[in-house]
Amino acid sequence: MTVSEVRKRYLDFFAKRGHAIIPSAPIVPENDPTTLFTSSGMQPLVPYLMGAEHPEGTKLADSQMSFRAEDIEEVGDNRHTTFFEMLGNWSLGDYFKEEQLPWIFEFLTNQEEGLGLDPNKLYVTVFGGDEESGMAKDEESVAIWQKLFGEKGIDAKFVELGTEEHGNEVGMQGGRIFSYGAKKNWWSRAGVPSKMPAGEIGGPDSEVFYDFGLPHDPRFGPECHPNCDCGRFIEIGNSVFMQFIKQEDGTFKELPKRNVDFGGGLERLTAATRGNPDVFLIDAFDEAKSEIERHAFSFSESKDGQPVYKIYGSSPEVTKAYRIILDHIRAATFMIAGGIHPSNTEQGYVLRRLIRRAVRYGDQLGLSQGINTNNSSIKFIAETFIRVYSSAYPHLVKDVNATLDTIADEEKRFRKTLAHGLRELEKRGLSSKLSAPSVFELYSTYGFPIELTEEIARERGWEIEPGARVAQLVKEHQAKSRAGAAQKFAGGLADQSEQTVRYHTAHHLLLKALQTVLGPEVHQRGSNITAERLRIDFNYGAKMTDEQKAAVENIVNEKIAEGLPVIRTVMNKTDAEKLNAEHEFGANYPEQVSVYSIGPKDATQDDPKFAEAFSIEFCGGPHVANTSTLGHFKISKEEASSAGIRRIKAVLE
């Protein structure tokens, strides 16, 4: 099947079973400082899983744009991507295991409504209990799975493995259903049960794996099992049963409203319908791959003066380069269309890294030889993804030229960096010897690829310290980066402390004040709110004057002093748009939306008086009830964020 077919079948399947189909949330979470990107389908719905009422009801389904920056180094094999779509369905206190597992099994195996996968190729895992916390094994899911497989004439033997290591020792043992410990089959935002704080929710999960029938690779252990990393089995879906809440004394209590959260990787599910574990062979990459193949060639490898074309699959090195380019440019295309610009911090840094890695691997394939050197060697790849995904994600075509120009401009900057790096390399190679710290400095400080340094050193006959030492320095650097960014990639619910909620409300006042002073064409292009300050990025072409900043501060403080009520109203999206309610750049919204209005002074929940409100925005909340609780507002800094984008940081005193 194609990606579009799988996506449509999934959404139609759950719509038929009473689920509201909600649009994908933005790839950058709105007002969530705990994470740089939306990294799962569950992430935008955490407030509702924690108890808030969703405007669309208790049964939801969607296909969510997702990005995981920690997977960048993994890209190059047949199954890892940074950007992906996560198909999801949720029960918010509605159905549970008895409905969820049969539905997922039916979707996977049904020929007419689902994917028509062979049930003999499906294997499942369940929670095997946790001694440290006293959580019991999930015997209920085992019984449901055995019944489902039995109805297909499959004897589903249950095997307890406990750990991945044990699985690699003892193997499959003829099993169909396997239990693992909390590390593999328990979900909470904090991890295993013993790590969960009081008040945290969590529960067992049940994963579905597809057997692609590849021979086991003994490098991963003597035996194979579903959670083996050899590539024979690939996870294609996971049903999480949020069933418990942790108590102050460390025990667990059943939630009054139990939730279901299913996530299935669209690319992996599509690969399963084709019986091929290489996700880069699904249709979403076909056009881009063909375009690369038209331009990827080398004269240096030719013996007769004719170009040698580098085709996907022709060698491990070439295939890896293709996969990295395909993944990184697809991800970059979605990120730029979502309002991200290359920079040296946060989301912009990740985008910059994606584009530059794609340029580097494009050069390895000879792309710069096949295209006018005054133009970009990779932006044409982004055009193919815009065409492929535009029907599902119309925001990609809102400003195609801006997306392509951003990629081209970043490539030009990178080529200048490479030129500078070459000069630095020459300085360090005067003694015809390059130390590991020198190689690492060129990489970390100047962005000069390690493999390029090694290649040039070999060409010039320089002695270079063994790569293992360089790799160790890179590993230490990455460990420090991961530790520093741990909270940024934790995902989940943003801090909802009293102070953060105050900043969230002040953010609405600030945006409206900016539009009042600078013009109605000003809109938010990013935000970050913590308990210490708020930050907003907005489109504006010039540095703000002191007078403009003072005017903005005065407006915000006036509205705080007026003591305006802050009111949440759930309404039809069309009605909210007619009110000119401010909403997130590049975002899609469900038919029912949550709108927060601030003012006038006599507004009430029953009579919001939208026509007289100071500010109206699409927003999930939370907010203070009245602006009088905010304190004194002050702009602490106004600066450039990227081309045409300004940034304000502000505090409440």
Query: Residue 419: inside a domain, yes or no?
Result: no
Same domain, 184 and 127: yes
Provide the domain limits for residue 31.
3-279
Query: Residue 446: inside a domain, yes or no?
Result: yes
pLDDT of amino acid 648: 95
Nearest of 327, 332, 330, 378 to residue 351 by alpha carbon: 332
Same domain, 150 and 264: yes
Same domain, 527 and 471: no
DSSP, collapsed to helix, strand or coil, labels residue 105 as: helix
First to last CA, the chain: 57
CA distances 205 to 63, 138, 183, 306, Å, are 20, 9, 11, 56
Nearest of 231, 186, 224 to residue 207 by alpha carbon: 186
pLDDT of amino acid 430: 58
Distance of alpha carbon 323 from alpha carbon 361, whole angstroms: 10
pLDDT of amino acid 123: 98
Q: What is the mean pLDDT of each run of 10 residues along the chain (653 residues)?
A: 96 97 86 74 83 90 91 85 95 96 98 96 96 91 97 96 92 96 90 88 95 93 93 94 91 90 96 95 96 82 76 93 96 92 82 90 83 74 95 90 91 82 72 76 71 74 75 70 41 58 92 95 84 88 94 96 93 88 72 89 92 91 89 93 86 91
Query: Residue 414: inside a domain, yes or no?
Result: no
Last-in-domain residue among 279, 311, 332: 279
Last-in-domain residue among 279, 302, 322: 279
pLDDT of amino acid 482: 47
pLDDT of amino acid 299: 65
pLDDT tens digits along 79-117: 889 999 999 999 999 999 999 999 999 999 999 999 999
Query: Residue 482: inside a domain, yes or no?
Result: no
Query: Residue 415: inside a domain, yes or no?
Result: no
Nearest of 414, 424, 440 to residue 344 by alpha carbon: 414
Query: Residue 537: inside a domain, yes or no?
Result: yes
Query: Residue 486: inside a domain, yes or no?
Result: no
Place of tokens 């790799």: 471
pLDDT of amino acid 372: 57
Same domain, 329 and 260: no
Same domain, 235 and 134: yes
Is pTM, for the whole model, over 0.75?
A: no
Same domain, 455 and 534: no
pLDDT of amino acid 490: 32
Enter the tokens of residue 11.
């959404």
DSSP, collapsed to helix, strand or coil, labels residue 528 as: strand
Same domain, 266 and 291: no
Main-chain dihedrals φ then ψ at residue 59, nearest 5 degrees: -125, 115
CATH number, domain with residue 27 = 3.30.930.10
Give 87's DSSP letter.
E
Same domain, 338 and 380: yes
C-alpha neighbours within 13 Å on the C-beta side of residue 207? 22
Helix (H) or strand (E) holding 575: helix 573-578
Place of tokens 């792309």: 367
pLDDT of amino acid 325: 96
Number of domains in the chain: 4
Same domain, 156 and 25: yes
- Cα-atom radius of gyration of the chain, to the nearest Å? 27
Enter the tokens of residue 488.
């940024």
CATH number, domain with residue 647 = 3.30.980.10
pLDDT of amino acid 510: 96
CA distances 314 to 256, 378, 517, Å, are 57, 21, 59
Cβ contacts of residue 96 below 8 Å, gap of 6+? 241, 258, 260
Query: Residue 420: inside a domain, yes or no?
Result: no
Last-in-domain residue among 445, 477, 509: 477
Main-chain dihedrals φ then ψ at residue 626, nearest 5 degrees: -150, 140
Same domain, 39 and 107: yes
pLDDT of amino acid 244: 92
Same domain, 267 and 312: no
Nearest of 321, 392, 391 to residue 359 by alpha carbon: 321
Distance of alpha carbon 382 from alpha carbon 378, whole angstroms: 7
Same domain, 142 and 227: yes
